[in-house]
Structure 1
Amino acid sequence: MSFSIQEIAANAVQARVRIRHHIYQTPLIPARQIGHDNDAKVLFKAENFQFTGSFKVRGALSKLSSPTAQTRLITASSGNHGIGAAFASAVLSKELTVVLPKTVLQAKLEKIKSFNVEVILHGTETGQAEQHAQQLAASGSYTYISPYNDAEIIAGQATIGLEILEQLDEIDNVFISMGGGGLLSGIGSVLKTLRPQTKVYGISATNSKALAASIAAGHVIETYHLPTLAEAVAGGIDEDTITLALASSVLDHIIECDEAEILKAVKALATQENIIAEGSAALALAGFNKVANKLTGQTSVIILCGGNVEHDFISRVVCSD
């Protein structure tokens, strides 16, 4: 089944009504230093300040509050979607199992377990965890919830776009990290429907770029997945994912960033902006940094998608050369 960006935008309005009492409308924070050297106005949409530490709770609440989520549920995640889904299951009294790769960050694993959901560890990257959850659902014991390949999940993420348009009169560019494509498809659908002149940049980690490579190929392809600081956006995508068509229709530019560029962006957020963000959030800033010299006089919003980091991660980054 395919969806138009107009349908996603309309669904976002409905999703917002369902989830607004369970989420935090995150601030749009003007940068203190970043962008100033290029005379570019930069603002951070701080989903790292969301109740669960990432935007993923929006999509999870949207899905779990919908009529289609009535039976025993199972989902898969690299961590942040699992946290959001576990939180949603707790506040909405839903039974949930979360499948995670064995490489999940300990801090994210502990947070998921704190909501008393069943946890299964399987595989070494998110795509393998997703495939295992889908196999378990195929047995008939569960209803599977994709972390990105679901219109109601995407509509929840799209509520970020609605908030941005209320918080900011003019927006020239938005920079969004690319994983499975739910965040990109959601925000992009709202902006291209309501503010079509806004340029949408999708930022992909070189070490794990399934969606970017699939968009370039015009169909879903397999890619190698190497370790990345942006682990929350790592892993493969479903062959039938609706995000491929949606992302392709809203994207103006794709930028790839390597590990050194992501690390530099994490450090810049901490030292220049006093913002703690995980690698997947810093990835969006890394993409902005690569084109900042072309954006003089423009207003850009950088989506900080999450801030769930290990306790010593930021200290190591700040002290690095």
Structure 2
Amino acid sequence: MERTMNIQDIHSSIKQAYHRIKPYVYHTPLVHSLPFSNNTKVNVYLKLESEQKTGSFKVRGSFNKLLGETSDLNHEYVTASTGNHGMACALALSTLGKKGVVFVPITVNPAKESSLREYGIELRKYGDDCVKTEREARQYAVANEMAYISPYADMQIIYGQGTIAEELAQDLSHIDAVFVTVGGGGLISGIGSYFKVFSKETEIVGCLPENSPVMMESVKSGHIIEMESLETLSDASAGGIEQGSPTVPICQVVVDRWVTVSEEEIANAMLLVLEKHHKVVEGAAGVALASFFKCSKEYEGKNVVIVLCGSNLSMDNLKFVISKSK
């Protein structure tokens, strides 16, 4: 495999995806954070995917996947999700006049389940881990001759998520580092591949909760590993990685460093966004910001972007985060 050529191809496909999905998604704000910049002596910019449609970056991949589907315009679809990808698929399906079923784990965040049901799409619960849920969804798709939409293990999804990088390139002339939360790896695979061609000097930082560092450990091992994920505020990035996912080899090439953070650090970061910017973000977004704070001294005087990937937070978790201030 010629990795350089593959990354170049991914970059080109991301630019195509950007124009394909542009009418259907928001160009989200890139906000300079004066309080975070003053406190760290870093030029901190927040990419507010928390203000994207459905409250998450996931709509980018979902629309790109469905808009690029040409095999059968009447195809029905199946997907599996902890919530954000499911909501994104539900919106894309309904907008484009297609039908589908969403599988979620039995442990799905209540706020995300409630939001998902509002789209009127069929919802099925299975498994206590996202990998088990994904396997069941794939089997259901095969049994019912439906097309499966992976949350991350699909190049069309990766291209869609990578359109965030195209917007960053338009909005900020020089970026020294981008902090991205990593679960299955679709988001960072897209963003990282774009910058490895567009701006090779830009550092791509993979951010994970200490309670679920599956991608980091898989990259270190050179293959996908199975390990227990503990409970975490970053439920959107928790759980295992599907065997055969293209994201692991891509992450091996495009991620320059890894940072893990504790649950306390995640909660504190979420609270700071609420206090300083009056915005609610979910745990996965808190992971990226907490990771930056953990190593901010290394970036003094530089331009750093932190991708705040979503805002779908349960009331229980919001109450918990607020209680940290007492």
- TM more than 0.5: yes
| Aligned ranges 1:66-145 → 2 under 5 Å | 66-68=68-70, 70=72, 71-145=75-149
Quote the offset at 1:116 in angstroms. Answer: 1.6
Match of residue 215, structure 1, among 199, 202, 219: 219
Q: Deviations over 1:7-32 (max 9, x none)?
A: 11111111122211111100001113
Whether 1:255 and 2:252 are equivalent positions in the alignment is no
Quote the offset at 1:294 in angstroms. Answer: 1.1
Aligned residue in 2 for 1:44 = 46
Q: Deviations over 1:219-268 (max 9, x none)?
A: 11101111110000011111101000111111110011111111111111
Indicate if the aligned counterparts of 1:41 and 1:298 stay in contact, CA closer than 8 A.
yes
Q: Which amino acid aligns with 2:110?
A: Q
| Aligned ranges 1:1-321 → 2 under 5 Å | 4-68=6-70, 70=72, 71-311=75-315, 313-320=317-324, 321=326
The DSSP-based 3-state class of the residue aligned with 2:53 is coil
Q: Deviations over 1:182-240 (max 9, x none)?
A: 00000111111101100000001111122111001011110111111000001111110
Q: Distance in 2 between matches of 1:255 and 1:68?
A: 39
Indicate if the aligned counterparts of 2:233 and 2:317 stay in contact, CA closer than 8 A.
no
The DSSP-based 3-state class of the residue aligned with 2:191 is helix
Quote the offset at 1:137 in angstroms. Answer: 2.1
- CA gap 1:43/1:69 in 2 versus in 1, 3 angstroms: farther
Q: Which amino acid aligns with 1:47?
A: E
Q: Distance in 2 between matches of 1:273 and 1:41?
A: 16
Q: Distance in 2 between matches of 1:29 and 1:158?
A: 19
Quote the offset at 1:315 in angstroms. Answer: 4.0
The DSSP-based 3-state class of the residue aligned with 1:228 is coil
TM-score (norm 2): 0.95
Query: Which ranges in structure 1 are unaligned for 5 or more consecutive residues?
Result: none
Q: Deviations over 1:130-171 (max 9, x none)?
A: 111112123243211110010100000010000000000110
Identity %: 37
Q: Distance in 2 between matches of 1:16 and 1:38?
A: 33
Q: Which amino acid aligns with 1:283?
A: V
TM-score (norm 1): 0.96
Indicate if the aligned counterparts of 2:14 and 2:163 stay in contact, CA closer than 8 A.
yes
Q: Distance in 2 between matches of 1:77 and 1:67?
A: 20
